[in-house]
Protein backbone atom coordinates (compact mmCIF):
# COMPACT_ATOMS: atom_id res chain seq x y z
CA UNK A 1 0.00 0.00 0.00
CA UNK A 2 1.37 3.39 -0.95
CA UNK A 3 0.21 6.60 0.66
CA UNK A 4 0.70 9.87 -1.17
CA UNK A 5 0.42 12.98 0.96
CA UNK A 6 0.12 16.59 -0.08
CA UNK A 7 -0.30 19.86 1.69
CA UNK A 8 1.43 21.18 4.75
CA UNK A 9 3.73 24.14 5.02
CA UNK A 10 4.25 27.25 7.11
CA UNK A 11 1.38 29.37 8.33
CA UNK A 12 0.80 32.01 10.96
CA UNK A 13 -1.31 31.28 14.00
CA UNK A 14 -4.99 31.50 13.13
CA UNK A 15 -4.36 30.45 9.56
CA UNK A 16 -5.48 27.36 7.67
CA UNK A 17 -3.92 24.47 5.82
CA UNK A 18 -5.28 21.42 4.05
CA UNK A 19 -3.67 18.00 3.95
CA UNK A 20 -4.65 15.29 1.51
CA UNK A 21 -3.85 11.60 1.41
CA UNK A 22 -4.52 9.04 -1.28
CA UNK A 23 -3.88 5.34 -0.89
CA UNK A 24 -3.14 2.91 -3.67
CA UNK A 25 -1.77 -0.54 -4.23
CA UNK A 26 -4.40 -2.64 -2.50
CA UNK A 27 -7.46 -4.52 -3.61
CA UNK A 28 -8.61 -4.95 -0.03
CA UNK A 29 -10.79 -2.49 1.82
CA UNK A 30 -9.02 0.03 3.97
CA UNK A 31 -10.27 -0.40 7.52
CA UNK A 32 -9.07 2.99 8.74
CA UNK A 33 -7.56 6.04 7.04
CA UNK A 34 -6.46 9.22 8.65
CA UNK A 35 -3.79 11.50 10.02
CA UNK A 36 -1.36 11.28 12.90
CA UNK A 37 1.23 13.80 13.98
CA UNK A 38 4.48 13.84 15.85
CA UNK A 39 6.06 16.89 17.39
CA UNK A 40 9.73 16.95 18.41
CA UNK A 41 10.26 14.99 21.60
CA UNK A 42 6.69 13.74 21.69
CA UNK A 43 4.92 10.53 20.79
CA UNK A 44 2.99 10.18 17.60
CA UNK A 45 -0.70 10.86 18.20
CA UNK A 46 -3.95 10.45 16.33
CA UNK A 47 -5.27 13.67 14.84
CA UNK A 48 -8.28 12.38 12.92
CA UNK A 49 -9.23 9.12 11.28
CA UNK A 50 -12.22 7.55 9.60
CA UNK A 51 -13.17 3.92 9.93
CA UNK A 52 -14.86 1.68 7.41
CA UNK A 53 -18.12 2.08 9.33
CA UNK A 54 -17.95 5.82 8.74
CA UNK A 55 -17.07 6.89 12.24
CA UNK A 56 -14.56 9.71 12.56
CA UNK A 57 -12.35 10.14 15.61
CA UNK A 58 -10.60 13.39 16.48
CA UNK A 59 -7.90 14.37 18.89
CA UNK A 60 -9.69 16.35 21.58
CA UNK A 61 -7.55 19.45 21.10
CA UNK A 62 -8.42 19.75 17.40
CA UNK A 63 -12.17 19.28 17.66
CA UNK A 64 -13.98 22.25 16.17
CA UNK A 65 -10.86 23.35 14.28
CA UNK A 66 -9.97 20.38 12.10
CA UNK A 67 -12.31 18.51 9.78
CA UNK A 68 -11.61 15.17 8.15
CA UNK A 69 -13.44 14.55 4.90
CA UNK A 70 -13.30 12.16 1.99
CA UNK A 71 -14.36 8.67 1.14
CA UNK A 72 -12.56 5.72 2.65
CA UNK A 73 -14.06 3.51 -0.06
CA UNK A 74 -12.25 5.69 -2.59
CA UNK A 75 -9.06 5.51 -0.55
CA UNK A 76 -8.76 9.27 -0.12
CA UNK A 77 -9.17 11.70 2.74
CA UNK A 78 -8.42 15.34 3.39
CA UNK A 79 -7.82 17.17 6.62
CA UNK A 80 -8.89 20.80 6.71
CA UNK A 81 -7.09 22.57 9.52
CA UNK A 82 -8.43 25.95 10.60
CA UNK A 83 -7.45 28.31 13.38
CA UNK A 84 -4.05 26.68 13.60
CA UNK A 85 -2.04 27.14 16.76
CA UNK A 86 1.72 26.95 17.37
CA UNK A 87 1.14 23.72 19.30
CA UNK A 88 -0.16 22.13 16.10
CA UNK A 89 3.38 22.27 14.72
CA UNK A 90 4.47 18.74 13.90
CA UNK A 91 5.14 16.29 11.14
CA UNK A 92 1.79 14.94 9.96
CA UNK A 93 1.59 11.38 8.72
CA UNK A 94 -1.15 9.67 6.80
CA UNK A 95 -1.89 6.18 8.07
CA UNK A 96 -3.92 3.35 6.59
CA UNK A 97 -4.93 0.08 8.16
CA UNK A 98 -5.43 -2.82 5.77
CA UNK A 99 -6.22 -6.27 7.15
CA UNK A 100 -4.59 -5.35 10.42
CA UNK A 101 -1.40 -4.01 8.85
CA UNK A 102 -0.41 -0.38 9.34
CA UNK A 103 0.94 1.69 6.48
CA UNK A 104 2.43 5.15 6.85
CA UNK A 105 3.05 8.01 4.49
CA UNK A 106 6.38 9.78 4.39
CA UNK A 107 5.10 12.69 6.48
CA UNK A 108 4.58 16.36 5.76
CA UNK A 109 5.73 19.23 7.93
CA UNK A 110 3.22 21.67 9.37
CA UNK A 111 4.70 24.70 11.08
CA UNK A 112 2.57 27.31 12.78
CA UNK A 113 4.30 30.52 13.78
CA UNK A 114 3.08 32.70 16.61
Residue-wise pLDDT for 2-54, tens only, equals: 999 999 999 999 999 999 999 999 888 899 999 999 999 999 999 999 999 99
Q: How far apart are CA 67 and CA 83, in angstroms?
A: 12
Within 8 A by CB and 6+ apart from 92, the residues are 5, 8, 19, 35, 36, 37, 47, 79, 107, 108, 109, 110
Q: Residue ranges of the alpha helices (H) in 1-114?
A: none
Does position 72 have pLDDT exceeding 90, yes or no? no
Amino acid sequence: VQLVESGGGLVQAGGSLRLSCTASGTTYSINSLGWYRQAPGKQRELVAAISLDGRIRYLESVKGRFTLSGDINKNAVSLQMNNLKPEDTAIYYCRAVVIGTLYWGQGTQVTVSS
